[in-house]
Amino acid sequence: MNHIIHWKRNFAILWSGQFLAIAGLTLLVPFLPFYMEELGVKTPQEKQLWSGIALAAPAVSSAIASPLWGKLGDRFGRKLMVIRALFGLSLCLCLMAIVSSPLQFLAVRLLQGAFGGIVDASSAFAGSEAPEEQRGKALGSLQSAVAAGSLSGPFLGGIFANIYGFRPLLLTVGIITAIGACAAGFLLTERIRTQTKESPSSEVTGSVLQAFISMFSHSRTRGFLLAGFTANVAVFGLVTPLAPLVESVARKPDYAATWIGFLQAALWTATLVSAPWWGKRNDRFKVERNYRIATILCGISVVLQACVINVPTLLVFRILQGLTFSALIQSVMFVIIQSSTDTNRSVRVGAANSVLVCGQVIGSLAGALITGMFNPSTAFFMMGTVFIVSACCLLQGFVTIPVLSFRANKR
C-alpha cells in the first residue's frame, strides 16, 4: 500500500518536472530566428542557418551522453539522474538568457543535450518504480506531459516574449525548473535495489556497448528499435514541409502562420488526450499489435495530408496523426523496459534514446532535402510511407538480419 502511495507522488513529480522541462525548451523554438537577430545575426539566410544548427545541436550531444548517464543511473540511482536532468536544463535555460552571440548560444544548446535528458531519465525511473501492471499507463501518461509541454511552451513563449522579452522569460523558466529539481530531490522516493540471482554481475558491470549489442541481438528489441528509429525519421521529416504545404493549400496565404500554429496545437492536443489511452492498452494487449495499428493509421493520415486541397481537411488528418503517433515512442520504451533488469534498465533506455535521436536528426535532414528537391506534398507522401515501413519492422522475419552474436556473460 505504501508503495502505491509513494508511486502516485513520484508520478506527480515526474509529470510536473517533465512538463516544465519540455515547456521551457520549446517556448523559444518557433522564435529562434528572432532571438538570433537579438544575438547579432542580420541576414535572413544566416538567421535560418543558425536556427537550424541550434535546433539540431542538442540531438547530437544527447545521442552521445544518454547511454552514459543511463549507466550512471544504474550504478548510483535513477532519482539522481532525474535531479541531474532538471538542474542541467535549468542551468542551460539561464545560460541561454545571458549569451551574447550565436556561437555561445550553440555551445549552450550542446550542453543542453549533454546534461538534459529528462525524458529518458523519467522513463527509466518510472519503469523501475511503477507497479509492473501499470508500466504502460505510466509511460503513456509521461508521454502526455511531453505533449502538454510542447503545446504550452510556444503558446506561452509567444505571449510573454512580446511583453517581457526573451531573456527574462528564459531566466524565469530556468529558475522555475531549478525549483522543480529541488522538489524532486526532496520528494522523489526510490526503492533500495539489491542484486539478485536473476541479475548476473555481468549485467551490472556491462558497458554501454554491451547494452547496444544485447538489444540488437534479440529480435524483439531489435525490431522495436528499428521501428522507433524509422518512426522518428518520418515524424521529424514532416517539420520542414509543413509550412510550405499550408501556404499552398491556404486560401489566404497571409494567414498561413496562424493556421500552422492552430494545426500544431491540434496535433499536440490529440497527443495529450490519446497517450495515456495507448499506455493502458500496452498494459492489457500485445504491444506489437498496438504499435502496428497506430503506425499504419498514422502513416495513412500523413499520406492523406499530401493530398488535401484545403486547411480544414488538413486539420482533420493532423488530429488523426496526433491520436496515433502518441502510441509509438512510448511503446518502444515499454518494450525496452520490459526486456531489462533492475540493474541495467537506465543504460538500455539511454541507448534506445540514442537510436531514436539518430532518427530525429536523419529525418530533419531528409525532410528538408526532399522538400527542396521536389515539393512539400511529396515529402508528406514519402514520410507517410516511412511510417508504414515502421510497422513492417515488427513483422516476423523482417528484422532477422545478420548481427553480432553476443552473450552478456562472455568476456
Q: What CATH architecture is 204-400?
A: Up-down Bundle (1.20)
**pLDDT per residue over 250-273, tens digit each?**
877 667 777 888 888 899 999 999
Q: Which CATH number is correct for 1-189, 2.40.50.140, 1.20.1250.20, 3.30.450.20, 1.20.140.10?
A: 1.20.1250.20
Per-residue CA distances from 324 to 228, 277, 298, 391 (Å)? 14, 11, 5, 12
The secondary structure of 84-129, three-state, reads HHHHHHHHHHHHHHHCCCHHHHHHHHHHHHHHCCHHHHHHHHHHHH
Handedness of CA 100, 106, 107, 111 (dihedral sign): positive
Q: Which amino acid is at 147?
A: A
C-alpha cell recorded at residue 391: 510497422
Average pLDDT of the chain is 85
For the chain, the distance separating the N- and C-terminal CA atoms, rounded to the nearest angstrom, is 42
**Residue 127 pLDDT class (50, 70, 90 cuts):** confident
Residue 40, Cβ density class (10 Å: 0-12 exposed, 13-18 middle, ≥19 buried): exposed
Q: How many residues does the chain have?
A: 411
**pLDDT per residue over 22-77, tens digit each?**
988 888 877 777 888 888 888 877 877 788 788 888 888 988 999 999 889 888 88
Q: What is the pLDDT at residue 394? A: 87
**pLDDT per residue over 78-98, tens digit each?**
899 999 999 999 999 999 999
Mind giving me the DSSP string for 338-362?
Answer: HT--TTTHHHHHHHHHHHHHHHHHH
341: left (phi > 0), else alpha (psi -120 to 50), else beta?
beta
- pTM of the shown model: 0.85
Q: How many CB atoms lie within 10 A of CB 299?
A: 24
Q: Round to whole Å and give the CA distance between 411 and 406.
A: 10
- Cβ contacts of 298 within 8 Å, gap of 6 or more: 231, 320, 321, 324, 325, 328, 387
Per-residue CA distances from 330 to 101, 113, 136, 279 (Å)? 37, 20, 8, 7
Is it true that 1-189 and 204-400 share their CATH fold?
yes
Phi, psi of 53 (to 5 degrees): -65, -40
Contact between residue 241 and residue 371 where contact means Cβ atoms under 8 Å apart: yes
CB hemisphere CA count around 396 (13 angstroms): 1
Domain residue ranges in the chain: 1-189, 204-400
Q: What is the pLDDT at residue 107? A: 94
